[in-house]
Amino acid sequence: MGVDRIVTIDIHAPAVTGVTSAKTVFEDFEAGFVGIDWFINNLKSFDDVCVVAPDAGAIKRAKQFHQNFEAHGFKDKIELAMMHKERKVANVVDSVTVIGNVEGKTCIIVDDMVDTAGTLC
């Protein structure tokens, strides 16, 4: 292809980095630090914040986002939770179980893609 370098932000599937030639540099950067700065500058309180993974596939990304809060001095203040969804068909959620305490919390849902926004609703 003649491509020397590919740069992505929060790539959905890191496995695609292996489909390029050995001479192509593939870099993927995490954009979560930008979100952290916004939340730190705009939330009035951090006593009731919970980072939520909307499904099992997002738990790694949510944990990284949570760790970014810890790196900014919010260790043990911000909780982490996960949603477990059962689907009958694509884009139709049959049931949701929340693992963790989100009641009365300001929830930050960390996801990689939003196509129908059903999870957010």
For the chain, the three-class secondary structure string (H helix, E strand, C coil) is CCCCEEEEECCCCHHHHHHCCCCCEEEEECCHHHHHHHHHHHCCCCCCEEEEECCHHHHHHHHHHHHHHHHCCCCCCCEEEEEEEEEEECCEEEEEEEECCCCCCEEEECCCCCCCCCCCC
104 vs 111, residue with greater confidence: 104
Catalytic residues: 85
Domain boundaries, given as residue ranges, for the chain: 45-121
Statement: residue 118 has pLDDT above 90: no
Statement: residue 103 has pLDDT above 90: yes
In terms of C-beta density within 10 A (0-12 exposed, 13-18 middle, 19 or more buried), how is residue 25 classed?
A: exposed
Query: Which residue, 99, 112, 114, 118, is CA-closest to 52?
Result: 99
Statement: residue 115 has pLDDT above 80: no
Residue 100, pLDDT score: 94
pTM: 0.74
Name the CATH topology of 45-121. Answer: Rossmann fold (3.40.50)
45 vs 91, residue with greater confidence: 45
Statement: residue 120 has pLDDT above 80: no
